[in-house]
Copies of this chain bind each other. A is one copy, B any other.
């Protein structure tokens, strides 16, 4: 149920424009603005906005973190009846700054949707960007019930999955699950700067996966890391200790210690959730050789559909210099057996289901 109608989005990047599109689709009346006239024009044309728009009941600040607290204060002052929320990737500084102004912080609720990696700009926006994504929200010390309810109404309207965290809890969690993986990926890629093209050409899926995040926007990420530097540096200190231990154990040929470090990583890996946000499921894997031509995957999925099997996940691995590839389906044990039998019957080069991917 909508308890308000007029929403103004400030910032026509990926998140702001996606929110505008999604909220418009959900029946809200949206205006969007951006200090960059070109971004504003694109976003306004995407949502069909004409003119300035009426006074908002809710203002969404969707700008880079360095400008958030200034804009929250500015828009809260300009629209003294409005609720204000942000969508920034960090919470402590913004919340602390706004809480210095009780009249404003009572009308403010901080939020952070976990969406939008390796992608930016209004043109990349989509209204369902947040569907099913975790959306963290962080009330201030005196956020009104209306402020929190309005923020949650917007999160609900966009299909987000609400998780409440304090600002400190949020920034600490993000340091580990988002900032540290970004750093590992960037440092791996930077460390390999001097290896030859020949050597890098030998790389397999492992290097590709671990270095994927290195392609992200350096400026945006630098800003985030600096704004969360104390939590990030804590993790870097732990990392640095492990790295030093490993380097020492390698140089001293202390095999037991090396095993201990790798085993620690292996043990903790089991805690990292698979899809659906739960613990890793026990999938079975079905490797199938395919020709690299149109229609191959369609036929495989036809076979899956025929036996009513639900493909849980899938990888496609192509081989250097060849026009064939390996498709590995992840399925429940029961489904993996049904699909295997069907594919064999259909004449595919398929291997028996196995418990580990490989």
Residues of A in contact with B (beta carbons under 8 Å apart): 14, 114, 116-119, 123-124, 126, 128, 131-134, 136, 161, 163, 172-173, 176-178, 180-195, 197-216, 218-219, 221-223, 225-226, 229, 232-233, 235-240, 242-244, 246-247, 250-251, 253, 255, 258-259, 261-278, 287, 289, 292-295, 297-302, 304-305, 308-311, 313-314, 316-322, 324-325, 349, 351, 354, 356-358
Measured CA separation A260–B143 after assembly (Å):
39
With CB as the reference atom, state the residue of chain B lying closest to A187: B242
Task: Please name all residues of chain B whose beta carbon is closer than 8 Å to the beta carbon of A357 when the two chains form the complex.
Answer: 118-119
Task: Please name all residues of chain B whose beta carbon is closer than 8 Å to the beta carbon of A304 when the two chains form the complex.
Answer: 294-295, 297-298
Q: Is the interface of A mostly helix, strand, loop or mixed?
A: helix
What are 9 residue pairs bridging A and B, where the CB atoms are less than 8 Å apart in the complex?
Answer: A180-B191, A184-B210, A185-B265, A190-B261, A203-B273, A239-B243, A275-B316, A293-B310, A302-B302
State whether B177 touches A195 (Cβ < 8 A).
yes
| CB-contact partner of A236 in B226, B246, B300, under 8 A | B246
State whether B128 touches A349 (Cβ < 8 A).
yes
Measured CA separation A235–B192 after assembly (Å):
8
Task: Please name all residues of chain B whose beta carbon is closer than 8 Å to the beta carbon of A274 when the two chains form the complex.
Answer: 208
| CB-contact partner of A314 in B172, B206, B267, B316, under 8 A | B316
Task: Please name all residues of chain B whose beta carbon is closer than 8 Å to the beta carbon of A198 when the two chains form the complex.
Answer: 173
| Residue with the highest number of chain B CB atoms closer than 10 Å, among A214, A218, A269 | A269
Measured CA separation A255–B308 after assembly (Å):
53
State whether B126 touches A287 (Cβ < 8 A).
yes
| Residue with the highest number of chain B CB atoms closer than 10 Å, among A181, A232, A278, A311 | A181
With CB as the reference atom, state the residue of chain B lying closest to A119: B358
Measured CA separation A251–B190 after assembly (Å):
20
State whether B201 touches A277 (Cβ < 8 A).
yes
Measured CA separation A309–B222 after assembly (Å):
39
State whether B229 touches A318 (Cβ < 8 A).
no
| Copies per assembly | 2
State whether B250 touches A225 (Cβ < 8 A).
yes
State whether A275 touches B318 (Cβ < 8 A).
yes
State whether A186 touches B261 (Cβ < 8 A).
yes
State whether B213 touches A210 (Cβ < 8 A).
yes
CB distance from A225 to the nearest CB of B (A): 6
State whether A210 touches B207 (Cβ < 8 A).
no
State whether A271 touches B132 (Cβ < 8 A).
no
State whether A177 touches B190 (Cβ < 8 A).
no
State whether B177 touches A117 (Cβ < 8 A).
no
- 10 interchain residue pairs of minimum CB distance: A132-B319, A277-B320, A119-B358, A186-B265, A298-B301, A275-B318, A189-B265, A173-B199, A218-B262, A295-B305
With CB as the reference atom, state the residue of chain B lying closest to A176: B195
State whether B321 touches A276 (Cβ < 8 A).
yes
CB distance from A300 to the nearest CB of B (A): 8
State whether B206 touches A117 (Cβ < 8 A).
yes
Measured CA separation A117–B208 after assembly (Å):
14
State whether B180 touches A223 (Cβ < 8 A).
no
- Take A178-B206, A222-B255, A258-B225 as given contacts and tell me if A264 and B298 are in contact as well, using a CB distance cutoff of 8 Å: no
CB distance from A229 to the nearest CB of B (A): 4
| CB-contact partner of A202 in B134, B211, B267, B313, under 8 A | B134
CB distance from A65 to the nearest CB of B (A): 13
Task: Please name all residues of chain B whose beta carbon is closer than 8 Å to the beta carbon of A173 when the two chains form the complex.
Answer: 195, 198-199, 202
With CB as the reference atom, state the residue of chain B lying closest to A354: B124
- Take A132-B320, A216-B266, A316-B313 as given contacts and tell me if A226 and B277 are in contact as well, using a CB distance cutoff of 8 Å: no
